[in-house]
Amino acid sequence: MTEQHEQHSHQFELGTDGPKVIVVGVDGSDSSMRAAAYAGGLARRQRALLAVVYVQPVLAAGAALGAPVAETTDEIAEDLIAQIREAADRVKGIFDVRWEFHTFRGDPFTGLVKAADDLRADAVVVGASEQAGHRIIGSVAVRLVKAGRWPVTVVP
């Protein structure tokens, strides 16, 4: 193995023995909640930190029409935190998972990239897209895979 190859491999995997930080994107959809459950199991087995990330959409058009967009997305974030806490409490004492909840604003792809970079993620887990339009413009999952910066797991 050449020195250059060794250096490149160390740039890709930030952890030294499996992932230390696993980022999972949640938005309240069924597939994102399945992704959170999968990532939680992975984090438990690897003794990694589970960073649950909700990207609050910035809807300029909605704001221009007077819609309370920020309040709505804050309510979604609070609901997601409550659901995650409830799930964590159900398995407390059986499975121990270290987790944090983070919110970012923007489009889901950019928000998850920022989260993964800021949190120095070793892996990213997302749910498969449930929207038909993504077949044309590409899903968040496909765009994350194409970015090629972390291993990405897509949960159906």
pLDDT score recorded for residue 7:
47
CA distance 12 to 3: 15
pTM exceeding 0.75: no
Predicted confidence at residue 88, as pLDDT, reads 61
**pLDDT at res. 55:** 87
Position 50, amino acid: L
Distance of CA 118 to the CA centre of its chain: 12
Q: What is the torsional sign of CA 78, 83, 86, 87?
A: negative
Residue 100 to residues 26, 62, 81, 124, 128: CA-CA distances in angstroms? 13, 29, 9, 14, 22
CB 142 within 8 A of CB 91: no
pLDDT in tens, the chain (156 residues): 445 544 444 455 554 567 799 999 988 888 888 999 899 999 988 999 999 998 887 765 444 455 555 556 677 767 777 776 776 666 566 667 888 888 888 888 999 999 999 999 999 999 987 765 444 445 888 889 888 889 999 998
